Structure 1
Amino acid sequence: MSQPSTCVLGPHIPAPGTSGESHLAEPDGGRSVHQGPGQSAAWRVLVVESDTGQAETLARNLRRHGHDVDSVPTGGEALHAHEDADLILLDLELPDLDGLEVCRGIRTAGDTPIIAVTARGTELDRVLGLQAGADDYLTKPYGFRELMARMDAVMRRARPRTPAPSTIVHGPLSIDQGSREVTLEGRRIPMTRKEFDLLCLLASHPDTVIPRKRLMQQIWGDSWSRRTVDTHVSTLRNKLGASTWVITVRGVGFRLGHG
């Protein structure tokens, strides 16, 4: 197993009273950074990094830019946690699994944007990373501003600008496609990314039975099983408080009900 490499988020600044030791410098001198016009939107970012210090520094800097950040140290945890993320920063040097395999696993499960962040810097490494499903590839050490720019570019490609999304109202159920928030009788219902996508697809066609195959292909892509949709439907019913919110049409698929 290779040793974790040092990720530099800014210039090395010696701490007072020391010489030669390197520290991770935070952007803008560690001051809180607020978004202004033209800056990136807030995303849910999953940091997959085995080095605790690097992960904490990166997460802190991202939060200062308004992002919601989760961090996991292993590939196995990343394969379980990626579903809720809008963007994944994936170190390829992980203690349990090869980062390329983790990248392939996440890409097989869905289309969440991935930026490989690694010390593997040869042309072959970059080619293998991109072929494994990474949307971009950033070699350590790197500058934090470059990372932010690459994140913006990847998200622009993944989510091109479209007309302002609407809010779907179905009785007491409200689905805000812009903020990806669901409320029922004014109470916010927390949803994972796939749960929201499933509910939104059903609500977009409230009087139509959506075939199971269409649900799976549109939400999960090529990697799916019958159990996957059944599990998510069951979870949706529990969160909405009634099994009649999602109606099963045996042998066909599902449609939105009225709770």
Structure 2
Amino acid sequence: MGPIMIVEDEEAIARVLAAYVRKAGFECLICKDGSQALASFEAARPVLVLLDVMLPGKDGWEVLRGIREKSACPVIMLTARGEVGDRIRGLNEGADDYIAKPFEPEEVVARIQAVLRRPPQSLVDPDQIVFGSLRIDLQSRSVYLNGAVLSVTPRDLSLLLFLAENPNRLFEREQLIEKVWGIDYEGSDRAVDLSVKRLRSLLLHWPAEEGEIRTLRGTGYQLYANTSR
């Protein structure tokens, strides 16, 4: 197994993270800037990257794009607390998770272990999306909860499918309108809110520990799914 790569320019934070990562049984590699991280990535073959957004030289966004050009290696972004835009951008550009600073090292280790428990994409049935007791059959465009079929309108189903195909990614209303309703849609973005309300009603008995549709401070929505289950 390769190491956990920690890309963090603050030496004290990197040192604490490394100590906890090693205590959890992982090897560890510390990079102090983005250029060093990209230069070391292929040779190190890390199993996961902890990537700070604010880095000297190449920032975290450049590093994330560089990694995604060549690898599906899991990446957890480290962002400043309250920087919601950073979280949206990181997840939309391919990060697997994010953690806001300041953080507890134990939480970081728990997040690492959760991400690494996720099944490889090749093991997922391409015709189904399954999050615990929620199952979406892509071929028949049917939704099942605890084995029972749900009656979903075509538009609501299209929204649910889009969110489910992009789990744990945050989307603003305007993005959802464009992706689901289409760029020619001339109605209010209130349609997104109403669609989400109907979906939440249908998914009322979907256990929260398996997943839920979350609101991002009135800006947009995310289908949170516990993909480590």
TM-score, length-normalised on structure 1? 0.44
> Larger radius of gyration, structure 1 or 2?
1
The structure carrying a bigger strand percent of its residues is 2
